[in-house]
């Protein structure tokens, strides 16, 4: 019965450790907000800057796997080239060592032992979470609670293992793994691939080491295997991606595998010469030191060969040329399921893609107005096809925004996502009105109808204002500048007044038989649709204004 209790204790501790890590990472991400977005904005073709960015982002989100998955997504979306990706991947491996140092804090001194301060952190965090309504304070409380639960979980795991410190099965197992580098690396790889986190698998190894169950040789080879195992997540993520994204995942594998092989051979020689060191016990701080030393040294060694890694990935994932062209039919490059791992990136991608949808709406408005001017059948047909694209855009964007809304967001990010739901709908409605205008133009072409000079002058005036309104609305969404918001509000008022005047003038022409009933009905319907386009543009800037006030 005691063995079952210890097993339950270990499983429960592992669960708390993983949950605490997840809660802490969520709190860190929300607390960082758009800072991670700005980190990426600093990313240039300079590989050194990429290393710093990769390390910084990974330290924040507490997962090199998540960072690399995002890199695969950026490369797949065309937002990052392979040269930039190499640097970020190198930096991600360095950033992931932060978690190992956090886990080893229990061996820094009595004051830092988990059982000493973790309950206090959870208590403080819980009170802050319950009694504060300020978003920043709630984010900090999540970090504290996650931090505390993480260490309580470690303490549970450690307590479950303590009775078995002298059990021969553990010493024998790690002795075998220590003598056989391949077995040790495979064990580390398998565990990491299974739980999809090198940080978590290193944490488990450190817990065993803290109880005196792990020797130096087995720890080194298992850690090297864990660094290879972390590549599995990115490789799986790249399965449905473009060839370039697959190459980014392969670069991650090459970088870690080459480093592991080189270090594995070197350490095998060292441990063969110094068997006493190889069989001596290692503690969690020692694992943190080796983990950090390996990743930093591996980065320094392979940094000059970044371009060679890119070439090797091209040799492994060969370009067949045709597949890439076939996949370019209709894509939304800024929205990627891989970005959902980090909500701040997902929100930023959704914003950029909404702006692209807005630019497509501008093109649609200009195209259909040009079709009215020229009576061109080709422009009418193209406008109809654009409306189909806008429908597809709305569908994909709505699905993606729904996925983002399920994630861990700040109040401001949640407000933005809610507004984007409405913005996407308004942009699609603009397209619907353009489609109505295209149908009315088609009727005019089929029936051989033409507007009078007075009607066309009125159309040109209201059409010009409407195009200006939609353009300013998209710029307001992109830049969040209130000047564009005010511009749209002013134009929309002018369009309302102008639409009423033009409607009155046209009814007078109908009353004096200066215009046929068929042309009159079409013109009035066109005015109604054009005025509705400006209304939707006004809605778009209204959401931006709400965000600024919020």
Count Cα atoms within 13 angstroms, Cβ side, for 289: 8
Contacts of residue 279, defined as CB under 8 A and 6 or more positions apart, other chains included, come to: 175, 178, 215, 216, 217
pLDDT band at 325 (very low <50, low <70, confident <90, very high): very low
pLDDT at 409 over 70: yes
Give the highest mean pLDDT range of 56-60, 172-176, 308-312.
Answer: 308-312
pLDDT at residue 323, as a whole number = 44
Which of helix, strand or coil describes residue 144?
helix
Q: Which of 98-102, 385-389, 459-463, 485-489 has the lowest mean pLDDT?
A: 98-102
List the one residue out of 196, 246, 270 whose CA is nearest residue 226: 196
State the Cα–Cα distance between residues 452 and 392, nearest whole angstrom.
37
Q: Specify whether the CB–CB gap between 540 and 426 falls below 8 A.
A: yes
Q: What is the pLDDT of residue 413?
A: 86
Indicate the domain borders of the chain: 2-316, 338-549
Query: How far apart, in Å, are the Cα atoms of 350 and each of 422, 479, 547?
Result: 13, 14, 15
In this prediction, residues 455-473 reach a mean pLDDT of 93
pTM value is: 0.66
Of all residues in the chain, the percent with pLDDT exceeding 70 is 83
Neighbours of 518 (CB within 10 A): 12
Cα–Cα distance, 252 to 355 (Å, whole number)? 32
Phi/psi for 281 (5° steps) reads -70, 145
Instruction: Tell me the DSSP string of 431-477.
Output: HHHHHHHHHHHHHHHHHT----HHHHHHHHHHHHHHHHHHHHHHHHH
Q: Is the pLDDT of residue 145 over 50?
A: yes
Q: How far is CA 7 from CA 164, 201, 208, 245, 512, in A?
A: 11, 18, 14, 41, 93
Q: What is the DSSP string of 161-224?
A: HGGGTT-HHHHHHHHHHHH-HHHHHHHHHHHHHHHT-HHHHHHHHHHHHHTT--BHHHHHHHHH
CB distance 436 to 364 below 8 Å: no
What pLDDT sits at residue 436? 94
Neighbours of 419 (CB within 10 A): 21
Provide the pLDDT confidence category of residue 167 given band limits of 50, 70 and 90. Answer: low
Instruction: Note the pLDDT of residue 262.
Output: 93
Q: Is the predicted pLDDT of residue 329 greater than 50, yes or no?
A: no
Residues in the chain: 550
Q: What is the pLDDT of residues 356-371, one digit of tens each?
A: 999 999 999 999 999 9
Q: Which of 130-144, 244-258, 400-414, 422-436 has the lowest mean pLDDT?
A: 130-144
In sign, the C-alpha dihedral spanning 211, 212, 218, 224 is positive
Nearest to 267 by CA among 252, 253, 255, 282: 282
Tell which phi-psi region holds residue 212, choosing left (phi > 0), alpha (psi between -120 and 50) or beta: left
* Gyration radius from the chain CA atoms: 30
| Section 239-254 average pLDDT | 83
In this prediction, residue 314 has a pLDDT band, given cuts at 50, 70 and 90, of confident
pLDDT at 1: 64
The pLDDT score that the predictor gives to residue 87 is 86
Residue 330 has pLDDT above 60, yes or no: no
Average pLDDT over residues 227-253: 82
pLDDT of residue 6: 77
Of 462, 436, 470, nearest to 538 by C-alpha is 470
SS percent in the chain: helix, strand, coil, step 5: 85, 0, 15
481-531 tens-digit pLDDT: 999 999 999 999 999 999 999 888 878 876 767 666 677 788 889 999 999
Q: CA 393 → CA 69, 84, 327, 358, 495, distances in Å? A: 24, 29, 16, 10, 28
Q: How confident is the model at residue 379 (pLDDT cuts 50, 70, 90)?
A: very high
- Would you give the distance in Å from CA 464 to the centre of its chain? 38
Distance CA 409, CA 441 (A): 45
For 229-247, what is the mean pLDDT?
A: 79
**pLDDT given at position 435:** 94
- The token pair at 33 is 């907000």
pLDDT tens-digit readout, 97-130:
887 887 777 665 545 565 667 788 888 988 888 8
Rounded to the nearest integer, the mean pLDDT of the chain is 82
Report which secondary-structure segment, H or E, holds 101.
Answer: helix 97-103
- The answer regarding whether domain 338-549 maps to CATH 1.20.58.220 reads yes
Averaged pLDDT, 404-417: 85
Euclidean distance between CA atoms 119 and 390, whole angstroms: 53
Cα–Cα dist 55/38, whole Å: 14
Q: What is the pLDDT of residue 505?
A: 85
CA distance 505 to 493: 19
* Residue 327 pLDDT > 50: no
pLDDT given for residue 180 in this prediction: 84
At 42 the pLDDT is: 58
Nearest to residue 117, comparing CAs of 128, 127, 105, 129? 105
Nearest CA-CA partner of 312 in 324, 302, 326, 300: 302
Task: Identify the top-confidence range among 28-42, 64-78, 101-115, 199-213.
Answer: 199-213
Residue burial 199-229, b: 16+ Cβ < 10 Å; e: rest: bbbbbbbbbbbbbbbbbbbbbbbbbbbbbbb
Evaluate whether 66 touches 230 at the Cβ level (below 8 Å). Answer: no
């Amino acid at each position: 019965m005691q063995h079952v209790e210890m097993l339950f204790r270990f499983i429960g501790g592992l669960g708390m450790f993983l949950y605490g890590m997840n809660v802490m990472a969520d709190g860190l991400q929300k607390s960082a907000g758009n800072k991670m977005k700005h980190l990426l904005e600093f990313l240039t073709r300079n590989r050194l800057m990429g290393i710093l960015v990769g390390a910084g982002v990974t330290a924040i989100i507490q997962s090199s796997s998540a960072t690399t998955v995002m890199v695969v997504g950026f490369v797949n979306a065309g937002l990052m080239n392979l040269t930039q990706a190499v640097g970020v991947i190198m930096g991600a491996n360095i950033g992931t060592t932060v978690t190992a140092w956090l886990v080893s804090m229990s061996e820094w001194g009595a004051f830092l032992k988990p059982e000493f301060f973790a309950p206090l952190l959870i208590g403080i965090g819980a009170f802050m979470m319950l009694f504060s309504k300020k978003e920043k304070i709630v984010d900090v409380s999540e970090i504290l609670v996650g931090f505390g639960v993480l260490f309580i979980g470690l303490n549970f795991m450690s307590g479950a293992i303590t009775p078995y410190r002298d059990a021969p099965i553990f010493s024998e197992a790690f002795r075998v793994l220590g003598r056989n580098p391949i077995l040790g690396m495979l064990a580390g790889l398998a565990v990491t691939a299974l739980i999809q986190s090198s940080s978590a698998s290193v944490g488990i190894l450190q817990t065993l080491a803290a109880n005196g169950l792990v020797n130096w040789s087995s720890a080194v080879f298992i850690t090297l295997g864990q660094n290879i195992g972390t590549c599995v997540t990115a490789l799986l993520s790249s399965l449905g991606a473009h060839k370039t994204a697959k190459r980014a995942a392969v670069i991650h594998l090459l970088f870690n595998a080459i480093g592991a092989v080189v270090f594995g051979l070197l350490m095998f020689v060292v441990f063969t010469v110094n068997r006493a060191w190889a069989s001596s016990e290692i503690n969690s701080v020692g694992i943190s030191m080796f983990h950090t030393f390996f990743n930093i040294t591996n980065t320094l060694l392979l940094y000059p060969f970044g371009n060679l890694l890119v070439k090797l990935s091209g040799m492994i994932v060969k370009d067949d040329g045709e597949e890439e062209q076939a996949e370019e039919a209709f894509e939304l490059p800024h929205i990627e399921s891989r970005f959902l791992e980090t909500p701040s990136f997902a929100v930023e991608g959704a914003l950029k893609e909404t702006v692209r949808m807005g630019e497509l709406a501008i093109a649609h408005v200009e195209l259909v107005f040009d079709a009215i001017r020229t009576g061109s059948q080709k422009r009418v047909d193209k406008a109809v096809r654009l409306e189909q694209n806008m429908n597809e855009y709305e569908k994909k964007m709505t699905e993606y925004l729904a996925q983002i809304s399920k994630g861990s967001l700040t109040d401001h990010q949640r407000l933005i996502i809610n507004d984007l739901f409405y913005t996407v709908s308004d942009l699609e409605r603009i397209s619907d009105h353009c489609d109505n205008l295209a149908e009315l133009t088609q009727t005019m072409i089929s029936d051989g109808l033409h507007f009078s000079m007075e009607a066309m002058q009125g159309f040109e005036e209201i059409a010009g204002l409407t195009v200006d309104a939609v353009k300013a609305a998209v710029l307001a969404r992109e830049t969040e500048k209130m000047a564009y918001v005010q511009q749209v509000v002013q134009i929309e008022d002018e369009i309302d007044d102008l639409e009423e005047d033009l409607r009155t003038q046209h009814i007078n022409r109908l009353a004096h038989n200066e215009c046929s009933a068929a042309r009159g009905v079409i013109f009035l319907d066109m005015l109604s649709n054009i005025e509705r386009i400006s209304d939707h543009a006004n809605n778009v800037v209204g959401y931006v204004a709400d965000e600024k006030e919020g």
